[in-house]
Chain A
Amino acid sequence: MLINVKNLVKRYGDLIALDHFNLEVQEGEILGLLGPNGSGKTTAINCILSLLKYDKGTIELYDQPMTPDAYDIKRNIGVVMQNVAIFDELTVYENIDYFCGLYISDKHTRKKLVAEAIAFVGLGDFKKFSPKKLSGGLLRRLNIACGIAHKPKLIILDEPTVAVDPQSRNNILEGIMELNRQGATIIYTTHYMEEVEQICSRIAIMDKGKIIAMGTNEELKQMIKSGEHINLELLNPEHLELSEITALPHIISAELTDHQLVVKSGRGKNTLIAILDYLKGRNITIGKIYSEPPTLNDVFLEITGKALRD
């Protein structure tokens, strides 16, 4: 077991930030820690990294208790902070060299690692640039390079794509998958469900300081009642009675917005034929039809009663 957290409790005064939080991370996986803002993701990471004091619980990394001076464990960890953590006074190269130097003392090894990190995040043309001259996306890439230059076995990324444009976001996500292919175990915290669906082999959904569901993407979606979402464009929806649709077998809910009807059906049930029969009987003309599988937002919604981004 690479990380084993048991019954972690962290309080800020009366506020319980982590409420008997449990987590196990296996070597080689990409674990997504998904939850809305304030759900306790960053607090959990900071406790695991021994930055924050906690009130109760145990944290073990590589089967050893994690402490601030557990240097052997720390040597294997790379962290990409939520806030860009670099020195404005140093150039791109110097920043990566400095933070790599905190782990690697040999100058020649460090030079090679810094060059690889720069190539990995695609900052080759910006080596001598001051961070003040970099765009938000390039800064995020520099932030990642500073966290991973020493080639850690465990990489923790805390919302690395916040305020990043779609193109840079894709580059970052592809880079994370590449790091995993090279052998690194990844913990990735975010409140973007699309990102964890795209890159994570296992997902832990957090709310109010605890993990409320955990599994692969498919396993999580199997946990809920709702299945596919059927979207129908209706040309004459005035003849529609929503109560009659929801009364159909295996239909969980139906919503009509303007000409768009969204029907959620039960998991594993085919309800499309019944819906089409009903619409035909009512002489309602259909424009477009498409179906979507359930999302992690549906999982979160069904478990907590609220959407991920509420």
Chain B
Amino acid sequence: MFLFNYRYRLKCIFKDRQLMFWTFLFPILLATLFNLAFANITSSDNFIKVNVAVVQNEALDQNPAFTQAITGADDLFVVQNTTRAEADALLQDNQIDGIITFDPDLNMVVNQSGLNQTIIRGFLDDYVQSNATIVTVVTENPGSLENGILNGISSRSEYLTAVSASQSAPDPIVNYFYALIAMTCLYGGFLGVKEVVAIQADLSAVGARINLAPTNKLTVFISSMLAATSVQMLELMILLTFISGVLGISFGDQFGYIALTCLLGSLTGVTFGACLAAVIKKGEGIKIGILIASTMTMSFLAGMMSTDIKYLVMTKVPILGYLNPANLITDSFYALYYYNTHTQFFTDILLLCGFTLLFSTITYFVLRRQKYASL
């Protein structure tokens, strides 16, 4: 009976076009849209060099150290050595961000304020300060030159070392895709609703017919739920393959844990829908409406529409993050991708297990009823 029902439930689910659209095609479409929308964000973050014109004159020739400093400044600047007239013309045409001139002091000419102008200002201040320090040392304590003090002045030492938590490069975009997968997991709720409606005599005529048969209702139900979870897992695996293989979003290389997250996410989603359908004594349309509203709210709070929301929840109301299955699924993927330890991952997984158990228990207590008050 178990396998017989399982096979037929798989057929029913795969042939339900509306269901397959929402649980399978819709997430793939959404992932494609995300990819199109975020395609230029990473490249737009690349640093664009600052264009400056340095006026060629006698004073500049007497300060070769400046020319050496500006050309060697970590590729900050694109430098053009020009006459003052040419420099003015370039500035007028907005082809450069500023003019640097020695007359005889170091000066800067800009025609607007902005980030690039601030960078030029910062560089010049730093150069002037270092130059003044060297002049003071040479004037007041020339003996210290032999101790290599100039090296200390002209170089910058970092006393803090940045250590990456993982081998993966930080990428804020991936969180959108993780939240999308979490939403897809919870869309398994559609399958849960379908299975409960199909087995409850007070919700459907086929449910009444199944209740009249000499079969254990719980066996039929568990087999149906397993079919729903299998379909959901398959859909998730295809979505993951699409997101990583076609869209190039990384999930790290811990495939076993990724599969575990998908399995538990699917179970949480399917049992959530089943629980909702069992508890809410309204029509199927209302059940579906409530499911969509709750799933979208959870996905929103998990950062599907904006990662700032997820950050806000985790800093202001962290408990909400732990009570939100969508957030737990997102966090699991995030933890696998970024962290070298599994503490956060297993915390999320355990909480997902807890939710699955809770939803299943509630559903069981409603469904174990064998007679109905009304049909």
Contact = CB atoms under 8 A, between A and B. Distances in A.
A65 B255 CA distance: 55
Given A75-B214, A89-B15, A98-B8, A52 B372 contact: yes
Name, among B12, B13, B214, B372, the residue most crowded by chain A CB atoms within 10 Å (CB to CB). Answer: B214
A255 B114 CA distance: 103
Nearest to B374: A12
A104 to B, nearest CB: 10
A42 to B, nearest CB: 8
A277 interface: no
A105 interface: yes
B4 interface: yes
Nearest to A76: B214
Contacts of A98: 8
Contact of B209 (A12, A46, A81, A101): A81
A53 to B, nearest CB: 5
Interface in B342-375: 370-375
B210 interface: yes
Name, among A50, A71, A77, A89, the residue most crowded by chain B CB atoms within 10 Å (CB to CB). Answer: A89
Name, among B16, B213, B215, the residue most crowded by chain A CB atoms within 10 Å (CB to CB). Answer: B213
Nearest to A80: B209
Contacts of A75: 214
Contact of A53 (B205, B213, B373): B373
B203 interface: no
A86 interface: yes
Contacts of B371: 50-53, 68
B1 interface: yes
Q: How large is the interface on B (under 10, 10 to 19, 20 to 34, 35 or more residues)?
A: 20 to 34
A102 interface: yes
Interface in B16-31: 16
A99 B11 contact: no
Contacts of B209: 79, 81, 85, 99, 146-147
A87 B195 CA distance: 12
Interface string B182-223: 000000000000000010010011101111111100000000
A90 B205 contact: no
Name, among B4, B201, B373, the residue most crowded by chain A CB atoms within 10 Å (CB to CB). Answer: B4
A103 B4 CA distance: 12
A199 interface: no
A84 interface: yes
Contacts of A68: 211, 370-371
Contacts of B204: 85
A51 B1 contact: no
Interface in A39-76: 46, 49-53, 67-69, 71-72, 74-75
B8 A90 contact: yes
A94 interface: yes
A282 to B, nearest CB: 59
A53 B201 CA distance: 12
A126 B206 CA distance: 21
Contacts of B375: 46, 51-52
B2 to A, nearest CB: 11
A114 to B, nearest CB: 13
B11 A94 contact: yes
Given A71-B214, A77-B212, A90-B15, A84 B205 contact: yes
Interface string B214-253: 1100000000000000000000000000000000000000
A84 B204 CA distance: 10
Given A89-B12, A89-B15, A103 B206 contact: no
Contacts of B373: 52-53
Contacts of A146: 209
A101 B205 contact: no
A83 interface: yes
A105 B212 contact: no
Given A85-B209, A103-B213, A51 B372 contact: yes
Given A51-B201, A87-B206, A69 B16 contact: no
A99 B208 CA distance: 12
A53 B374 CA distance: 8
Contacts of A90: 8, 11-12, 15
A77 B12 CA distance: 26
Contacts of B211: 51, 68
A54 to B, nearest CB: 9
Contacts of B201: 51
A105 B8 CA distance: 14
Interface in A215-238: none
Nearest to B13: A89
A72 B214 contact: yes
B214 A102 contact: yes
Contact of B212 (A53, A74, A86, A101): A74
Interface of A: 12, 46, 49-53, 67-69, 71-72, 74-75, 77, 79, 81, 83-87, 89-90, 94, 98-99, 101-103, 105, 146-147
23 contacts: A46-B375, A50-B370, A51-B208, A51-B211, A51-B371, A52-B374, A52-B375, A53-B371, A53-B373, A68-B370, A71-B215, A72-B214, A75-B214, A77-B212, A79-B212, A83-B205, A87-B12, A87-B198, A90-B11, A101-B1, A102-B210, A102-B213, A105-B4
Given A53-B371, A85-B204, A90-B8, 14 more contacts: A50-B370, A51-B208, A51-B212, A52-B371, A68-B370, A75-B214, A77-B212, A84-B205, A87-B206, A89-B15, A98-B8, A99-B209, A101-B8, A103-B214
